[in-house]
Structure 1
Amino acid sequence: METGSTTGKKTLAIVCTPRGFGGLEMNTLKQARTLEEKGWTVWLLVNELSPMYTEAAKYCSNITSVQQVSGGGEKPKARWIHKWLKEKNPAILFTPYNKDIKSLSVYKRFYNRKVKLVYQQHMKVGVKKRDLIHRLRYNMLDLWISPLPYLKEETIEKTTVPAEKIAVVPLGLEHEKRVWIPAACALGLLTVMTLNTPGVLVAALMLTLGFHRRSRVMLGLAVAFLLTFGSFYYYDLRLT
């Protein structure tokens, strides 16, 4: 089943066909939604037997479902992908699911050399994949995204993907929260560790909530609380 079909310069086709539903699938749906919000045209291909299919409509406008893409003969699946994308002609073909690389690499090799094929890694490479079959498969990749530096190093060691095609991009970070939440937690923990009194525990909680919610009122109350009762804390710490 398919919904929606448009063309444009900022176009992306996402293929993610596992039957499960976990962090990989949820992160992919969030990426699709974010890209649509930023003006991209996104087509999403998912497994109709996966819970991801039932959730997909909440995140993406253009959805196609299949029972399976990975596994078995890759040529027939590549032909099916070619028919799916023929009118769409996306600039980028993206997958976060390593088993989908097989059919997508065949599609690029025989049907569309212009499309940029991107794989986003979600787990370790595992056993070495430097044989001829994997070499031919990975040669079709234009970009391999690793979430951590050590996974990039492992990819270089265990595959034939060249280092210049590997980018390190952390997974699942929401840009509006990635600074505030760690900063709030760090500040709260630092305050508790250095001023370990009941009153400061309350102030630390207020600081943490204030940073997390970006509440000036909460931050102001935390500062006022510390200033009002500061002499008690200084006395406890023998700073006066």
Structure 2
Amino acid sequence: MTKNNTHIAYFCPSLSWGGLEMNQLRNAEWMHNRGHKVVILLQKGSRIHQEASANGISVDFVQPHKKYFDFGKAAQLIKKIKQHNITHLIVRDPKDMSVCSLAKSWSKKKFFLAYFMEMQIGIPKRDLLHTIRYSSFDLWSCPLPWLKKQVKELTRFPSEKTLVIPSGLSLDRYFNAPERQEAKTLLDLDTNKEYIGLVGRFDEQKRQLLLLESFNQIKDKIHHDLVFLGESTHGESDAYFDKLKEYVRENKIEKRVHFRPFRPDVETFYSAIDVFVMATKSETFGMVTIEAMAAGCKVVGSNQGGTVEILNHGEFGELFETGNAEDLSNKLMVSIANQDFDANAVKDEARKYDAEIVCNKVETALGI
């Protein structure tokens, strides 16, 4: 199938704006830039609608649907597929799998249905209902090998249709980030100090408090300060952020801990820090870990989820016992003291997640 007769639809009726929605948009943009005809099926007025329109990506509107057995919305989706002459439909949210499966089963127009996995499988889904639903899919793409293993163990989806294709990033901006001293100046940080850093929304799942506790244990043994880049989730309470600031005040570490608002040039943050921490309990993939590696940071990450494979079981960073502040403290000390750290080797490892490589794999998997 050539680019001229390929039309890829990215199904994303979510009103949220997180990693899943960003990945749908990012991949749509990449395929558009590579000459494919692309449309995003989304809710009118959603954040992804705004972002797609700003970036010149074609959109069409769909209504929110029930998680299961929404026959009416499946029929409406079939009309959209016929209207746009869709050849490939891409799904990333597991909540969208049912309605897309129904559309594939009923549609007289044949199209390729692909699920690009963004979330772990929580419980076994080897029952008849899930097996029938999944049978409509032509491809199940997993960003890391451990997730492919989950698919094999927890579903009956055919292994020959299950592939590992990493979630990609445009990495040039991280490879070419500002020099460290300049980055520190841009972040209004002391250029004479080194920093441990964490980027992400202020949320219990990101475990900024765990890092604060670990830092407090070793603050008198190291010269590094601690810096956070992020903000509270839009529309939600600042209670967790307030809790972090209260901990800083109670432990009298205001001069050693710095909070900076999120900024679009996140590569500047990575360039300013020496050690990056991924403290989340179990990140399915962990884009920020790859960003930090591409910027040449030392990385200390939780020993669960995708971080383990991204760091190749400790070859490209330190792994600490998830949720254990003392072990995180110890691994921070090891990372800081590591005189043999090879930033170029870490950058080279990050290159396999570059968008160009990932897009080639996606095109091969989709047969386009």
TM-score (norm 2): 0.47
Q: Secondary structure at the match of 2:5?
A: coil
Runs of 4+ with >3 A deviation: 175-184
Instruction: Report % sequence identity.
Output: 31
1:126-205 map, 5 Å: 126-174=122-170, 176=172, 182=293, 185=296, 193-194=339-340
2:38 to 42, 51, 57: 42
User: CA shift at 1:97, angstroms?
Assistant: 1.0
> CA separation of 1:59/1:112 partners in 2, compared to 1, >3 Å: closer, same or farther?
farther
Q: Say if 2:103 is the partner of 1:107.
A: yes
Cα deviation code 1:154-186 (max 9, x no counterpart):
111111111111111111322657888747627
Cα deviation code 1:83-122 (max 9, x no counterpart):
1121322211111111111011111111146211000100
> CA separation of 1:96/1:70 partners in 2, compared to 1, >3 Å: closer, same or farther?
farther
Q: Distance in 2 between matches of 1:31 and 1:19?
A: 18
Q: Say if 2:229 is the partner of 1:83.
A: no
Q: Say if 2:165 is the partner of 1:54.
A: no
- Name stretches of at least 5 consecutive residues in structure 2 with no aligned partner: 177-290, 299-334, 349-368
**Residues 75 and 103, structure 1, Cα contact 8 Å, conserved in 2:** yes
TM-score (norm 1): 0.70
Q: Secondary structure at the match of 2:11?
A: strand
Q: Secondary structure at the match of 1:64?
A: strand
Amino acid at match of 1:151: L
Amino acid at match of 1:54: Q
Larger Rg computed on CA atoms: 1
Count residues in correspondence: 193
Q: Secondary structure at the match of 1:167?
A: strand
In structure 2, what is the equivalent of residue 201 of structure 1?
none
Of 52-61 and 153-162, deviating more is 52-61
The Cα RMSD (Å) is 3.2
User: CA shift at 1:79, angstroms?
Assistant: 0.7
Q: Secondary structure at the match of 1:45?
A: strand
- Name stretches of at least 5 consecutive residues in structure 1 with no aligned partner: 1-6, 196-203, 212-240
Amino acid at match of 1:32: A
**Residues 90 and 114, structure 2, Cα contact 8 Å, conserved in 1:** yes
Cα deviation code 1:3-39 (max 9, x no counterpart):
xxxx941210110122211011111111111111111
Q: Distance in 1 between matches of 2:115 and 2:174?
A: 23
Q: Distance in 1 between matches of 2:125 and 2:45?
A: 29
Q: Secondary structure at the match of 1:89?
A: coil
Q: Secondary structure at the match of 1:36?
A: helix
Q: Secondary structure at the match of 1:114?
A: coil
